[in-house]
Structure 1
Amino acid sequence: MAYLARVKQGFGSMFSFFTDSWSELKKVKWPTRKELITYTIVVIVTVTFVTLYFWGIDYLLTILLRFFNE
Structure 2
Amino acid sequence: MGKISNFLKQVVSEMRKVSWPKRKELTRYTIVVLVTVIFMAVYFGITDLGISKLMDWYVSF
Pairwise same-fold verdict (TM > 0.5): yes
User: What is the number of equivalent residue pairs in this alignment?
Assistant: 60
Shift of 1:53: 0.8
The structure having more radius of gyration, on CA atoms, is 1
The ranges of structure 1 where at least 4 consecutive aligned residues each deviate by more than 6 angstroms after the TM superposition are: none
Instruction: Provide the identity percentage.
Output: 42
* Aligned equivalent of 1:51: 41
Using structure 1 for the length normalisation, give the TM-score: 0.84
Give a deviation string over 1:12-65, Cα, whole Å, max 9, x none: 110011000000000100000000000000000000011111101100000000
Is 1:64 the equivalent of 2:54?
A: yes
- CA distance in 1: counterparts of 2:42 and 2:56, whole angstroms: 21
Unpaired runs of at least 5, structure 1: 1-10
Using structure 2 for the length normalisation, give the TM-score: 0.95
CA RMSD of aligned residues (A): 0.5
